[in-house]
Amino acid sequence: MKSFSNTMASVRSAGKNYLLFQPKWKLNPLRSRHIERSRALLEANSLKNQPQKTHLHKFHAEKGRMEVFAGFEIPMWYKGIIPEHLAVRNGVGIFDVSHMGRTLISGPEAETLLNYITTNDVSALTPLSAHYSTMCNPQGGIKDDFVLSRLEKERFLIVYNASNRDKDFDWIVKHSHSFNVDVKDVSSNVAMFAVQGPKAEQTLQKISSKDLSKIERFKCGWTELARTTTFVSRTGYTGEDGFEVFVWDTPLTSPEKAVNVWNKVLEAGKEFGIEPCGLGARDTLRLEAGMCLYGNDIDEATTPLEAGLSFVVKLQKADFIGKNSLEKQKTEGVKQRRAGILMLEKGIPRPHCEVWKDKKKIGTVTSGTLSPILKCGIAVAYVPTEYSKEGEEVTVKIRDTFAKGKIVKFPFYDPTKYGYQRKMP
Amino acid sequence: MKTHGCEIPDELYYSKEHEWVVVKRDHVIVGITDYAQKALHEIVYMELPSVGAEVKQTKTMGTVESIKAVSEIFAPISGKVVEINKNLVECPELLNKSPYTEGWIAKVKPVNLDSELGSLMNAQKYAEYINKLEE
């Protein structure tokens, strides 16, 4: 028996060439005040080849099946992907997502810098709000997707993909030189957990000093969780209601605060059937919700318009990197789109599977799995716009078999039964 | 026999790709080992060979899928498939629950049994092989 495929291992951009970026915004000479990559990260990076660890490493190593992802040793699952997935859809689950990059951008020109390097409208973001956004290259290709939170008028927290930590930090720093801002990577000093599911609020409320029902979706705030200062945002990567919890001032070298909050959340969630969840369930949950995985569904060769992320591209705002290319693409029409495929026949679609229509290949699967909720195969694929309509029948070539499927809207599940918009009984 | 938490029944033969073989009077039964099912975890789908298919030792005879991974099953013995475990189509989790009994995969009428058995391991050798992999 030999494993030959891993759903998270593909990077579609490999082998493609991009024009080198030519900065068109040459402002004043170095005005950037302060750039700091956290020391622990530098130290960790200096130990090349050795996977990095998060604050909760001991817990994970004892209870989970560990794998290396984006240079981090993290749990793929504890009890199993399916029970962890179901805990989040039906109750609550907690994920350690401290492998993600966390950078603070502050200063009088923080908003201007972020408006220039990201596609969403940062001016519309009020303090203690968050939004989903992308950074693009000049060709409009996605450098990364992330959540940006505005902590204060002049202070922002950007949370980006683990696989892009160095690339994103360098990109932000490179552009920050023309702006009066501080850029500080706080990833090693701030632990990050996601507490997700319909029972997430009730779980956290038991140990929170602040009334969490006052924090609406995509809003954030400071609270004491288990008597520890935390920043929480009502965001996530599962499609469910829930919070992302940032435990401040907890260096990797003394992780006690982070470990304490983690354990207290597990205790508080016991009555709701809480499960610690690994990266496996994180992937199946985001896929059912129709959310993008960077490196699989989006990369520097795909634009946010093709990926169905036009809601985070604000073409009416002032110049930003990639704007011209995106405007041009919008005018000319998007030729291919990210679409969901629900399988009508047996078989689990996987990345790189071909999508066929009328006896010709029309596209390629970028993510696929068996949906634990729907109990059938689901896939994300790029197909020509004319085939991306809901209800369009296609076939997916899974090894030597052609299996029928149809194009569906995201999320894959019924949003009145699952996800943050569900109608509570 | 048991090693690294994996059951290794004494009376079976084992391949390096973690399939097992039990020899019956006029056929052999094949499946995947406890070690294999533990490594895959949560098996959710499988493709079985067809009855009548000729399978060849070390060549693919089917696939088994967990949520995260697709793995090929290699025939441990050459021959003609005479029966398949149809229960696995609806309940692939039988491979996790009882890989050596209810989770059997196929019955094969061997064509070259004696010489092919020689290339497989007995329980003792397979346990040593796993110990090496887990070092």
Q: Do B45 and A6 touch (CB under 8 A)?
A: no
- Token pair for A259: 């470990």
Question: What would the pLDDT profile of A336-369 be if each residue is shown by its tens digit?
Answer: 999 999 999 999 999 999 999 999 999 999 999 9
Residue A268 falls inside a structural domain: yes
If one counts every other C-beta atom within 10 angstroms of the C-beta of residue A271, the result is 13
Only one residue has tokens 């490999």, namely: A14
Same domain for A225 and A155: yes
Residue A12 lies in a domain: no
A326 Cβ partners below 8 Å, 6+ apart?
A119, A136, A140, A303, A304, A305, A313, A315
Is residue A373 domain-resident?
A: yes
Check whether residue A248 and residue A343 sit in a common domain. no
In terms of Cβ atoms closer than 10 Å to its own Cβ (0-12, 13-18, 19+), residue B38 is middle
Distance CA A104, CA A15 (A): 32
Q: What ipTM was reported for this prediction?
A: 0.91
| Residue finishing a domain among A258, A284, A310 | A284
Question: Which residue shows structure tokens 């597990």?
Answer: A266
Give domain status of residue A424, yes or no: no
Computed over every residue of chain A, the mean pLDDT equals: 91
Assess whether A246 and A345 both reside in one domain.
no
CB atoms B45 and A350 under 8 Å: no
Tell me, yes or no, whether A27 lies in a domain.
no
Judge whether A369 lies within some domain.
Answer: yes
Same domain, A135 and A197: yes
User: Based on the domain organization, do A171 and A280 belong to the same domain?
Assistant: yes
Specify whether A200 is located in the same domain as A69.
Answer: yes
Q: What is the largest CA-CA distance in chain A?
A: 62
Residue B110 carries which side chain, given as an amino acid letter?
A: P
Rounded to the nearest angstrom, the minimum Cα separation between B46 and chain A is 9
Question: What pLDDT sits at residue A6?
Answer: 43
Disruptive mutation site among B70, B93, B96 for chain A (greatest number of A CBs within 10 Å): B70
Tally of structural domains, chain A: 2
Q: What is the reported pLDDT for A345?
A: 96
Token pair, residue A91, equals 């109750």
**For A280, which of B19, B45, B68 is closest by C-beta distance?**
B68
Task: Report the C-alpha gap between B91 and B106 in whole angstroms.
Answer: 15
What does pTM read for this prediction? 0.90
Alpha-carbon distance A342 to nearest alpha carbon in chain B (angstroms): 16
A190 and A269 belong to one structural domain: yes
- The reply to whether A352 and A206 lie within a common domain is no
User: CA of B14 to nearest chain A CA: how many angstroms apart?
Assistant: 11
Substitution target in A1, A85, A370, A399 with the highest count of B β-carbons within 10 Å is A1
**Segments forming the whole domain that contains residue A227:** 34-284
| Chain B residues lying within 8 Å of A8, measured CB to CB | 68
Report the CATH number at residue A214: 3.30.1360.120
pLDDT digits (tens, 9 = 90+) for A212-261: 999 999 999 999 999 999 999 999 999 999 999 999 999 999 999 999 99
pLDDT of residue A1: 60
What is the percentage of chain A residues whose pLDDT exceeds 90? Answer: 88
Does residue A4 belong to the interface with chain B, where contact is any CB pair within 8 Å? yes
CA distances B102 to A50, A63, B20, B80, Å, are 42, 29, 14, 21
CB A297 within 8 A of CB A366: yes
Q: What is the CATH number of the domain that holds A345?
A: 2.40.30.110
Distance CA A202, CA A242 (A): 10
The minimal CB distance from B44 to the residues A2, A5, A370 is found for A370
- Residue A1 CB-density burial (10 A; 0-12 exposed, 13-18 middle, 19+ buried): buried
Nearest to A2 among B17, B44, B68 (CB): B17
pLDDT at position A48, please? Answer: 58
Contact A376, A342 (CB under 8 A): yes
The answer on A367 and A255 residing in a single domain is: no
8 Å CB contact of A5 and B69: yes
Phi, psi for residue B5 in degrees, rounded to 5: 75, 10
Distance from CA of A6 to the nearest CA of B (A): 5
Tokens of B71: 């793995």
Asked whether residue A273 is assigned to any structural domain, the reply reads: yes
User: Given strand A101-106, what is the order of strands in its sheet?
Assistant: A34-37, A182-185, A101-106, A155-160, A142-152, A129-136
- Which residues of chain A lie closer than 8 angstroms to B73, CB-CB? 1
Residue A84 within any structural domain of the chain: yes
Residue B62: phi and psi, rounded to 5, are: 170, 180
Same domain, A242 and A364: no
pLDDT of residue A26: 31
User: Which stretches of chain B score pLDDT less than 50?
Assistant: none
Same domain, A196 and A82: yes
- With CA atoms as reference, report the closest residue to A382 among A351, A415, A413: A351
Domains of chain B: 2-133 (2.40.50.100)
Q: Enumerate the residues of chain B whose CB falls inside 8 A of the CB of residue A76.
A: 68
Stretches where chain A sits below pLDDT 70 are 1-48, 425
Are A111 and A230 within one domain? Answer: yes
Q: Which residues of B touch A372 (CB under 8 A)?
A: 67
Q: Which of A1, A82, A347 sits opposite B67 (nearest CB)?
A: A82
> What is the pLDDT, as a whole number, of residue A35?
55
Query: How far is it, in rounded angstroms, from Cα A194 to Cα A206?
Result: 16
